[in-house]
Amino acid sequence: MTSVDFPKHKKAKALKPGSRRPAKELCSECGLCDTYYIHYVKEACAFINQQVEELEAQTHTRSRDLDNADELYFGVHQTMMAARKQQPIPGAQWTGIVSTIAIEMLNQDMVEGVVCVQNTKEDRFGPMPVIARTSEEILAARVNKPTLSPNLSVLEQVEKSGMKRLLVIGVGCQIQALRTVEKQLGLEKLYVLGTPCVDNVTRAGLQKFLETTSRSPDTVVHYEFMQDFRVHFKHEDGSTETVPFFGLKTNQLKDVFAPSCMSCFDYVNSLADLVVGYMGAPFGWQWIVVRNERGREMLELVKDQLETQPVMSKGDRTAAVQQSIPAYDKGVTLPMWAAKLMGVVIEKIGPKGLEYARFSIDSHFTRNYLYVKRNHPEKLEEHVPEYAKRIVGQYKLPE
Ligand code: FAD
Ligand code: SF4
């Protein structure tokens, strides 16, 4: 190869840490701009050039069928199920299905490395993306780092290492950028294991969330917005704390979520091969969406370690979503006794299984649609995918 036909991206220069990114305030710090793949940023960035539907066709051979009610919400898929590990991994976010799949893929030589995110020495929630090459390194990445994480910052190392088979674990905005540069990585096989993602925050935003919501912010090791309409915190001493969604100090938390996450319409990680979350499953179970053949292959590896059941759906979310729109918009916070009561009632009669997932998608898409309309009106038409427009179109929005 002469210097003339040397790939162009080798000449692009990664941005310096802390410098302003091309997507400006909408940047989710996905890590692409920390590498020479910044060369492709105008095409690849999920916040500059939303192209979920085109990339669905590239990845899964077709884009989602907008007239199929499940695909409209959950994207292209072969199957969905609820699952949990028979022997959960201690310290994992849920039962550790993600870490288990990654470990099996490495042990069975399907891949040579796994892009995942460990934490820094100083900070249990400080993200440190790595290419793991042992099960220990994958296990060290278990549990959510509930902050924006530059997972793609290790992509240069992939090409330099000469690795040919890779698994990437990541959230929607990271995976959209990855899919755009996928062909430039020099890989023979790429597997993508995604998680859903919503309401992420900067590290400073996370601190504010913990301080306004938890009784002991410094001892939180893990938290999740769960299907019982409560935030569950786990503390260092093993104790748990629950706070009802309706009791969150919405007025103080309004600005805590990153602008990227307030503008995101890829909650369900449409471009991953396999998605592992929880929101479409009964309480305590994880939710699995197999999007294509690669996803099926990955799940197959761990099936005998899982207990599974079919997905279910119960209740009607629409009234609750419609009521949540002005409540969020006005930053209403209920007194704690009322929030607890509402939590108990809604848990008894509220949406469950896939209907809970639709509740969460609807409330976030309507909120985000309003955010983009008010803060970036010039982007609204191009940035919101057709499926999200249809979902939002079911509700009456304030001006
Ligand atoms: P584990 O075995 O504990 O593995 C977790 C994996 O996540 C690790 O491999 C790690 O590399 C990766 N990871 C951790 N933090 C990040 C990060 N910031 N960016 C990219 N990758 C990361 N599921 C839902 O159903 N609904 C939601 O609303 C939802 N919100 C989420 C928000 C965030 C910020 C994240 C990271 C995940 C979210 N999930 C959501 C997914 C869910 O919380 C679990 O991560 C998932 O079910 C896997 O659990 P596990 O026990 O199998 O994972
Ligand atoms: Fe770059 Fe990623 Fe930020 Fe877009 S979101 S500007 S690709 S770092």
List, for the chain, all residue ranges whose pLDDT scores fall below the cut of 70: 1-11, 331-342, 345
* pTM summary value: 0.94
| Lookup: tokens for 102 | 């990654």
Query: Is any atom of ligand 1 closer than 6 Å to the C-beta of 351?
Result: no
Radius of gyration for the alpha carbons in the chain, expressed in angstroms and rounded: 20
Rounded CA-CA distance 75/270 in Å is 6
- In degrees rounded to 5, what are phi and psi of residue 252? -85, -25
ipTM: 0.98
| Lookup: tokens for 321 | 């979503």
Question: What pLDDT does residue 246 have?
Answer: 75
How much distance in Å is there from the Cα of 29 to the middle of ligand 2?
5
Sheet strands side by side (includes 274-277) = 127-132, 113-119, 165-170, 189-194, 274-277, 286-290, 79-85, 306-309
Determine the atom of ligand 2 nearest the C-alpha atom of 173: 5
Hunting for tokens 């290419």 — which residue is that?
131
Residues in contact with ligand 2 (CB, 6 Å cut-off): 21-23, 27-30, 32-33, 41, 44-45, 47, 173, 177
Asked if 56 contacts 63 with a C-beta cutoff of 8 angstroms, the reply is yes
Rounded CA-CA distance 298/289 in Å is 12
Rounded CA-CA distance 170/272 in Å is 8
Hunting for tokens 């190869």 — which residue is that?
1
**C-alpha distances out from residue 17 to 9, 74, 211, Å:** 19, 35, 27
Candidate of 116, 144, 363 to mutate for ligand 1, largest count of ligand atoms within 8 Å of Cβ:
144
Rounded CA-CA distance 377/390 in Å is 18
Q: How many CB atoms lie within 10 A of CB 314?
A: 13
Question: What pLDDT does residue 3 have?
Answer: 37
How much distance in Å is there from the Cα of 258 to the middle of ligand 2?
13
Question: What pLDDT does residue 1 have?
Answer: 37
User: How many residues are present in the chain?
Assistant: 399
Rounded CA-CA distance 78/97 in Å is 19
For each of the domains in the chain, give its residue range(s) and CATH number, in order of start: 8-200+260-313 (3.40.640)
